[in-house]
Structure 1
Amino acid sequence: MCWSLQALLDFIGSLSNLSKLDLTYCESLQALPDSIGGLSNLSALYLSHCLRLKCMPSGIGKLSHLRTLPVCVLGDKNNCSLRELSSLNLEGKLYMKNLENVKNVKEAKEANLKQKQGLETLILSWNLDAYQKPGEASSEKINEDGKNVQEIVEALAVQDRDVDTELIEDVLENLQPHVTLAVLKIEEYLGRVFPRWLMELAVPNLAKLTLKGCMRCEILPQFRLLHNINKLELNTLLRVQCLPALGQMRSLRILKLYVLPGIKCLSSEFYGGDGAFPALEDLDLACMPELEEWSRTAEVLAMYPDDELFLSSLQSGAFPNIDRPEMKFRVDRMISSLPPVLSGVSMPRHRGGDGTDPYSQGSSLKS
């Protein structure tokens, strides 16, 4: 770990017996030498938290012994491309950054992810700011301008990004992982639909799934048919207006719902039937400004439209593992009443304007 390291000397490519190169937390590292393709015995290359590394050089595909590549920073046609992953028998985790640099579907297909049985965790990431038009503020700048969450959501929603929707969708369609994949995260994807392999649940062994910043997608998969998922996070999905029957996910222990401005009501469809959420232990909810009610059978708790967090009845049969709930929430005004089932529950209330970030922890309901 060397925070000040900006570049590696070109001679490193002559270290033909080097088997492991760990550059984790080299936050100032801006480039890797082209000679890195000469490390013929390299089996592990660690680049996590190399924040200034914009791309990797071509030649990664020559590293025939490479098994561990937790981060792959894609570049343009003269740098590392997806096709270089084709012959690599990668294992463990693969975080593919800058997928906006993939300019044709063939390149995505040649990555051959579907045959990489050793991969357990896959993160597929685009950079939203790569699509911004001249004069538009970057997503990072929007977040730094002191706006509240609602203002940030509105600013992101109205941006007219220069996007080849068909290309983006086709690229993701051809990045289908092996059926044994356990952890999947898709972030800042600007297609309008999720890939067929996710919608048709062709990744049956998923245990953890995160969909974050997929701001143009409207329809979500039927998660309840993914029987092994124990953690699900839905974050900054601006056009989703209806959630599927999450209550019927029999293994789900952790559910995080953040920045879903299109959700106005959590009704019976959210539960999907009796005995909902049989394994749930941790429920986090935040920044759903249009939500007005969360119903369970006859009980409905109406909320102020500007309440970011909300409470619900815990009627018999739902949330059986949340025995002594502690609810933490930050709102602009006190909620006037609670349903009877929550009487006696300790619920510390935090107001905005106290110098703390009102959205830093979301809202939580946990045992």
Structure 2
Amino acid sequence: MTRILVSLHTKHKILDLGLDLNSLHNQLQSFIEGKRFLLVLDDVSDNIRAVWADVRSVLSRGAPGSIVLVTTQLYGVASFMGTTTPIFLNPLQYDDLWKLFKHHAFFDNQSTEALEYVGRKITEKLHGLPLAAIMIAVSLRNYLDEVHWNRLLESWWWTVSSNSLRIHIAASLGVCYCELPAHLRQCLVYCSIFPRNYIFGKCELIQMWIANGFVKLNNTGGPRSLEEVASEWFDELVNRCFLQPTFWELRYVMHDLVRDFAIALTSDEYCGVDCEVVDLPQSVRHLSIDMDNMNVPWADYNIKNLRSLMLFGGLGDSKSSECYTTVGSLLERSYGTVGCLSEGCSDDNDHADITLKRSCVTIGSILRRSTSLRLLNLSNMRLDPVMACFDNHLLVEDHVAAFASFITRHHMLPHLTHLRYLDFSYSGITELPDSLCTLCNLQVLGLRSCRFTQLPRSMNSLISLRHLHADADTIALIYGIGGLTKLQELHEFRVKAEDGHRITELRDMLYIEGSLCISDLQRVANQAEATQANLSRKEGITCLHLKWDRDQPLRGKYNHFGKELNHYDKGDPLHVSLLQKNYAPSDIPGSIVNSSGLSTPDPAINILECLPPPRNLQQLKISGYPGCSFPDWVECLRYIQVIEISHCIKLQVLPPIGQLEHLRKLKSHELPSIKDVDSDVYGTSNVVFRALEELSFVSMLKWENWADAENREFFPNLQKLQIKRCYNLRVLPFMTLGVAIKELSLSGCGSYSGTVSSYLHRLTCLTHLKHFALYVFTRFIIYLFFKNNGLSKLSHYKSWSFLVATYSGSSLRTWPLCHP
């Protein structure tokens, strides 16, 4: 049901919400009710039977004429779900298959007569299977030479003959597999131990490859990290269609046929959840098991050389191995209590207790003997969506937490000296033992959605740790995190005024990559501390968020203003004079007002000046900054693409950022002390804001003047412009603003609003006009009528979506005005 909701409403960030199944049910129903839709449910498995009644009842709320199209490999599923006779899809005709093959095999008409001849011969062997055509074509397009193509045409895999389509696809997959280098073959086969329909996270999988020693560095490609090499390998498997992307970023699935082929290739070293544990090979090294299958005599097996152990299941009764970490269960992970999906579920606490005890004994036996273990993953030990209807859902989750805690409390971790990957995420574990800190080879530690009140004092002894997956509250508990010098991700660092948590902890953490947020910067004692953070040397950081606690400067009258502003947003009138009074300079807590009435610079600028980011920074966010101006390094961010400045109540001037050649997005929100955006902001470049595409000014209450760019080119590529709650702004430089604007949003306008209509006719690319005063819009329509002798020119704006707002007493009314 979650997957349906996301596919119908792609802007819905369902992964970020904590919704239970009933909420999803209601949201999906409200979204489709009365609407006509076409919904395609692709590759449906037999598990749909348990939930189809509920899903169908929701889908029936759509408007007449709505259609649900189901594709499946199982005739029984088609008969169960369908309201018409199932349609059997035949393989593609040869001509259509050749067009598909040719499209994927050749770039920019690089085909030759000789290659096309061989390509047609290969197409004849594909039996009309589009998946096979795509995979083989992709594997050939990097080798556009006749010898290579002929060698593939003569592969022994084509000799495999059968009337079964699965055998035909296996032969094609075998050809593609032979084209893979040895290192990619190993990585592909490793994926076979995961359950059917598993959602692979890119970072998760490549970190598993590294932990198992699959990834090696060589000196031919220059200085690169293991993660960079593994990422290229992963992308190659995606490019060759062995893994397929989903609509979630960096999440992928493996087609059932590809997975079945990978399982067929596995040796006795790999054993997934599909295998019967009673038939466990003696030489198994990589094992994933269903928790319900753990009740076997493990003493009979040689598991001393076990390298990977992944546990799936919720300590329940389910025997299905196809529903763990499917799309549905992946999302249910963050939803909390889930409603009943089907009838017939029972509450059996005694059985759960017995299962828990048996599982604890079993895992103890396994871990004490698996001294070569490199990977232990407990993040998938949770209920699957089919079994989530138990009334004792929270109790079962407690059993999962108890199981995970059993591992940590019974001195099992010290035996796992070779462990490189340990994931307790979503297990409900609430404490970690001191013995964890002895795992000096540990590279990955997963603690997602785990809540702790304290952590071992020696967490910084994990000197090999490269990836710590935990929320900001957990990371803030780590004493002396600066000792984790190999750590590559640190999404948020909270500064504290105590040893082990000062900003100086960042000094030697030079391998941090991606996004970094440093919060509570008001606790930095002096410039010397800030300098020791060494931000400029952290070349891997691409997004930096510098954050001061804004609650302190927003106390008093500022908090009162916030309440008033909320009333205004709901439609209550608000006088500009009240806003100006609330932002008198003398009312700013902590500011210094001299005899001339001007605030002196806050010492915060000295701190910020000592926090210059790396030269390759792409995004900069500054919020709650208490200074009056920015240091010079802001205007030197050569590769910056996004700048967001918010809730800086003392800031009086913007830096000269108009000369930044790659700046695409600029947001200035809640800057109540700025009066002018003058030519100093534009810098010295002849083209001002050359690459800027999105510009937003919100709640700049004292802003009065927006200087013209004079004879320079101004915003040549601007596409989105938002001005909101800038009540004192008198003039906009309309004549120099770019004409490429597609989205324009104006509300809370100053005295400039009367001149807007004469500017709008220049915006021939405009597609969205939002929050616009009715009299301005009316003047614009009248302008078009007289300018163009009628309203026929509105056809040029047929994709416009207007939201017109006016005041009527104390209520705010809006009307959508859509094109015919």
Instruction: Give your verdict on TM over 0.5.
Output: yes
Q: Residue 148 in 1 paired to residue 572 in 2? A: no
Change in CA separation of 1:305 and 1:348 when aligned onto 2, cut-off 3 Å: closer
Change in CA separation of 1:181 and 1:143 when aligned onto 2, cut-off 3 Å: farther
Match of 2:465 among 38, 42, 49: 42
| Distance in 2 separating the partners of 1:15 and 1:153 | 58
TM-score by length of 1: 0.76
Change in CA separation of 1:53 and 1:37 when aligned onto 2, cut-off 3 Å: closer
2:544 touches 2:619 (CA, 8 Å); kept in 1? yes
Quick check: which one's strand share is greater? 1
- What whole-Å deviation, never above 9, does each CA across 1:166-189 have from its counterpart, x for those lacking one? 431111000011221111111110
1:289 touches 1:305 (CA, 8 Å); kept in 2? no
Q: Residue 211 in 1 paired to residue 653 in 2? A: no
Deviation, 1:155, is 8.5
Match of 1:179 among 615, 620, 623: 615
Q: Which moved more, 1:208-217 or 1:274-283?
A: 274-283
Aligned pairs (5 A) from 1:127-142: 127-130=549-552, 136=556, 139=559, 142=562
Deviation, 1:117, is 1.5
2:558 touches 2:582 (CA, 8 Å); kept in 1? no
Change in CA separation of 1:312 and 1:251 when aligned onto 2, cut-off 3 Å: farther
SS where residue 64 of structure 1 aligns? coil
The residue number in structure 2 matching 1:160 is 588
Q: Residue 126 in 1 paired to residue 551 in 2? A: no
Aligned pairs (5 A) from 1:1-367: 8-11=431-434, 12-23=436-447, 32-48=455-471, 50=472, 55-89=476-510, 90-130=512-552, 136=556, 139=559, 142=562, 146-148=566-568, 157=583, 159-162=587-590, 166-198=602-634, 201-244=635-678, 248-269=688-709, 272-273=710-711, 275-297=713-735, 307=749, 310=753, 311=756, 313-314=758-759, 323-329=765-771, 331=773, 334-335=775-776, 337-338=779-780, 340=783, 344=794, 346=800, 347-351=802-806, 353=811
SS where residue 268 of structure 1 aligns? coil
SS where residue 338 of structure 1 aligns? helix
SS where residue 197 of structure 1 aligns? helix
For 1:349, give the aligned amino acid: V
2:617 touches 2:640 (CA, 8 Å); kept in 1? yes
Deviation, 1:17, is 3.5
SS where residue 721 of structure 2 aligns? strand
Deviation, 1:147, is 3.6
Q: Which moved more, 1:288-297 or 1:224-233?
A: 288-297
SS where residue 232 of structure 1 aligns? strand
- What whole-Å deviation, never above 9, does each CA across 1:104-137 have from its counterpart, x for those lacking one? 111000011122222111110001224567xx37
Deviation, 1:141, is 10
Stretches of structure 2 that go unaligned for 5 or more consecutive residues are 1-333, 335-424, 593-600, 738-745, 788-792, 815-820
SS where residue 261 of structure 1 aligns? coil
For 1:41, give the aligned amino acid: S
Quick check: which one's helix share is greater? 2
Stretches of structure 1 that go unaligned for 5 or more consecutive residues are 357-367
| Distance in 1 separating the partners of 2:607 and 2:481 | 21
| Distance in 2 separating the partners of 1:77 and 1:249 | 42
| Distance in 2 separating the partners of 1:139 and 1:79 | 33
SS where residue 666 of structure 2 aligns? strand
2:675 touches 2:705 (CA, 8 Å); kept in 1? no
Change in CA separation of 1:224 and 1:154 when aligned onto 2, cut-off 3 Å: same
Deviation, 1:8, is 3.9
The residue number in structure 1 matching 2:404 is none
Deviation, 1:10, is 4.5
- What whole-Å deviation, never above 9, does each CA across 1:56-106 have from its counterpart, x for those lacking one? 443111112112112111112234111111111122211101111111111
SS where residue 224 of structure 1 aligns? coil
2:678 touches 2:705 (CA, 8 Å); kept in 1? no
For 2:724, give the aligned amino acid: A
SS where residue 186 of structure 1 aligns? strand
SS where residue 348 of structure 1 aligns? strand
1:221 touches 1:244 (CA, 8 Å); kept in 2? no
- What whole-Å deviation, never above 9, does each CA across 1:252-295 have from its counterpart, x for those lacking one? 111111111122344524xx546432211222221112224434
SS where residue 329 of structure 1 aligns? strand
1:216 touches 1:238 (CA, 8 Å); kept in 2? yes
SS where residue 211 of structure 1 aligns? strand
SS where residue 667 of structure 2 aligns? strand
| Distance in 2 separating the partners of 1:259 and 1:287 | 5
2:724 touches 2:747 (CA, 8 Å); kept in 1? no
| Distance in 1 separating the partners of 2:533 and 2:541 | 13
Deviation, 1:55, is 4.0
2:514 touches 2:542 (CA, 8 Å); kept in 1? yes
For 1:169, give the aligned amino acid: I
SS where residue 658 of structure 2 aligns? helix
Structure ranking higher on relative contact order (CA contacts 8 Å, 6+ apart) = 1
| Distance in 2 separating the partners of 1:189 and 1:262 | 18
Change in CA separation of 1:141 and 1:250 when aligned onto 2, cut-off 3 Å: closer
| Distance in 1 separating the partners of 2:563 and 2:474 | 22
| Distance in 1 separating the partners of 2:665 and 2:618 | 11
1:104 touches 1:167 (CA, 8 Å); kept in 2? no
Change in CA separation of 1:101 and 1:46 when aligned onto 2, cut-off 3 Å: farther
| Distance in 1 separating the partners of 2:430 and 2:717 | 48
| Distance in 1 separating the partners of 2:645 and 2:480 | 31
SS where residue 233 of structure 1 aligns? strand
Q: CA RMSD in A?
A: 4.0
SS where residue 181 of structure 1 aligns? coil
Deviation, 1:194, is 0.7
Q: Which moved more, 1:156-165 or 1:242-251?
A: 156-165
For 1:161, give the aligned amino acid: P
| Distance in 2 separating the partners of 1:153 and 1:6 | 49
Change in CA separation of 1:329 and 1:260 when aligned onto 2, cut-off 3 Å: same
| Distance in 2 separating the partners of 1:4 and 1:156 | 49
- What whole-Å deviation, never above 9, does each CA across 1:191-216 have from its counterpart, x for those lacking one? 11111212xx2211111111111221
| Distance in 2 separating the partners of 1:160 and 1:92 | 35
- What whole-Å deviation, never above 9, does each CA across 1:135-164 have from its counterpart, x for those lacking one? x37859945994436689668735532369
| Distance in 2 separating the partners of 1:108 and 1:167 | 13
Deviation, 1:249, is 0.8
Deviation, 1:46, is 4.0
Deviation, 1:34, is 3.1
| Distance in 1 separating the partners of 2:627 and 2:516 | 21
Aligned residue pairs: how many?
339
Q: Which has the larger radius of gyration?
A: 2
